[in-house]
Amino acid sequence: MRFTNSYKDKIKEYVEKNKLTYKIDTMGCQMNENDSNKYAGILESMGFKKELDEKKANLILFNTCCVRENAENTLFGRLGFLKNRRIREENVYIVVVGCMTQQKHILDKIKISYPFVDVVLGTNAMSIFPKKLYDAILNHKKSIEYIEVGNEIEEEVPIIYDDKYKASVSIIYGCNNFCSYCIVPYVRGRERSRAPEDIINDIKSLAKKGYKEIMLLGQNVNSYGNDFKNKKYTFAMLLKEIEKIDGIEIIRFMSPHPKDFSDDVIEVIKQSKKIARQIHLPLQSGSTHILKEMNRKYTKEQYMKLVDKLKKIPDVSFSTDIIVGFPNESEEDFIETLDVVKKVGFDQIYMFIYSKRTGTRAANIDDKVSASTKVERLERLKKLYEEILPTLNKKMIGKEYNVLVEGKSKNNKELYTGRTSQNKVVIFKADDKAVGKIKKIKIESEHLWYLKGKIID
Ligand code: SAH
Ligand code: SF4
Ligand code: F3S
């Protein structure tokens, strides 16, 4: 479905006359970031201007996440805080979209406790956003209603990225995996792959605008194409096509599911000059027993075998997601996780304490593990990770890496920053002319969370 906005011109005059501004607050993963870029694109096409200060913005849009529980309290706290402004001031609007609002109980809570919210939409409803906004602003009509996640893919939605050189592109929406702890399949619907030509056209036009690095996004990128009728187009083929696009120098993707990581994708990475030498390979747990309970469909041994295959790619690095304290995770199970962490040597670990999500299978398990044990395990995992990291970093000292210069370092304004192909942050001396260019950098020292180096070419 092609996105059209027939309300654009009807509302623009009002928005521009009143100099309306917007602020987007994004929670959750990179897919949500990407959706927020599209909401920004839609709002700007309707005349809204970006405002960084929430207190000054006319329209505040919350793009929500519900993968873990605590986000709910954050959202409701923020809405409560905005109530006075919304009711007293003229031309203040509140929009709530995203995964959390795809749950009926959240919608009910907004209706009852926060009825001043103007528009509420779920995860796959960008095409109706312009109408809802138009109704809210010009007809004073609120819209808080439940919309099922459809199967439609919305193409050609205007998009505005925060960065000038790096952009993310969604290639597949939804998830079919139903890991037993995870709410995502319920709020994002089933897998829907975008047509290859739509993806390629988007990336070509990004390349024309000067973008150098592309991050391909999906809940499970390597099941890309499985939903096509003839199943003849695969993730490996898509990667090969993107490799051919002039101007794009670095290709990343996340997340692949270990169970779907096929040999042909490994082969494409090996042959590629552009695909980053960094694989994000969500582990979740190192215990085969817990993995089974999680419905991950691989064992510890299968995961390790895949890692060994991937380690044949020169200079490859790994990042991962780990859940600590899945219901009834034993000390032995947890030690298996630590064992995998030691053996793989992850450069980056996103670690989470298990959070019960109503509606998922794991939510029904009677959990005997105490909260304090879970916190203690998370601390032990963190400690192990910080012990391993310097050893991994030290291996990079003296080596040369191509780095896209992203701009000035936030913490050290004298220096510039970028990332190696392994996704390691490097800081170095440079000047503004280097920004947006790929430079060869020799690594000189490691500082746990970043490396220092110098430009040699
Ligand atoms: N599709 C991706 C990531 C989805 S959500 C994948 O499969 O890897 C991002 C991460 O949040 C997950 O990898 C998992 O580690 C974490 N997560 C998901 N549900 C969770 C829950 N109920 N409690 C704690 N962490 C969770
Ligand atoms: Fe959730 Fe599993 Fe799907 Fe990832 S693969 S989004 S963890 S159900
Ligand atoms: Fe959260 Fe939705 Fe992403 S639940 S992690 S924002 S897909």
Dist CA 154 CA 39 (whole Å):
13
Last residue of a domain, one of 342, 377, 393: 393
pLDDT (tens digit, 9 = 90+) per residue, 41-71?
999 999 999 999 999 999 999 999 999 999 9
pLDDT at 171 over 90: yes
Tell whether 448 is covered by a domain: yes
Tell whether 349 is covered by a domain: yes
State both tokens at 394. 């030290």
- Cis, peptide link before residue 180, omega less than 30° from 0: no
Last residue of a domain, one of 393, 416, 432: 393
pLDDT (tens digit, 9 = 90+) per residue, 292-347?
999 999 999 999 999 999 999 999 999 999 999 999 999 999 999 999 999 999 99
Residue-wise DSSP of 349-381: EEEEE----TTSGGGGS---S-HHHHHHHHHHH
CA of 103 to the centre of ligand 2 (A): 17
337 lines ligand 1 (CB under 6 A): no
Cα dist from 220 to 81, 179, 351, 391, whole Å: 36, 12, 19, 31
CB-based contact 261:222 (threshold 8 Å)? yes
CB-based contact 48:21 (threshold 8 Å)? yes
pLDDT at 208 over 90: yes
Rounded to 5°, angle at Cα 30 from 278 and 343: 35
Say if residue 239 is in the same domain as residue 371: yes
Range of the domain at 177: 166-393
pLDDT at 230 over 90: no
Per-residue model confidence (pLDDT) at position 60: 98
Provide the number of structural domains found in the chain. 3
Output the domain CATH number for residue 83.
3.40.50.12160
Output the domain CATH number for residue 424.
2.40.50
Structural element, H or E, at residue 442:
strand 438-446
pLDDT (tens digit, 9 = 90+) per residue, 125-141?
999 999 999 999 999 99
282 lines ligand 1 (CB under 6 A): yes
pLDDT at 91 over 90: yes
Of the chain, the percentage scoring pLDDT greater than 70 comes to 100
Tell whether 181 is covered by a domain: yes
Rounded to 5°, angle at Cα 102 from 39 and 350: 75
CB-based contact 242:251 (threshold 8 Å)? yes
Say if residue 323 is in the same domain as residue 405: no
Per-residue model confidence (pLDDT) at position 317: 97
State both tokens at 108. 């009910």
Per-residue model confidence (pLDDT) at position 145: 86
Tell whether 174 is covered by a domain: yes
- Cis, peptide link before residue 255, omega less than 30° from 0: yes
Say if residue 343 is in the same domain as residue 404: no
Residue type, 18: N
Say if residue 340 is in the same domain as residue 385: yes
| pTM, two decimal places | 0.96
The preferred substitution site among 32, 182, 184 for testing ligand 1, maximizing ligand atoms within 8 Å of CB, is 182
Say if residue 176 is in the same domain as residue 231: yes
Last residue of a domain, one of 374, 393, 412: 393
Per-residue model confidence (pLDDT) at position 182: 98
Say if residue 56 is in the same domain as residue 104: yes
pLDDT at 150 over 90: no
Tell whether 378 is covered by a domain: yes
Tell whether 154 is covered by a domain: no
Per-residue model confidence (pLDDT) at position 146: 87
Per-residue model confidence (pLDDT) at position 231: 82
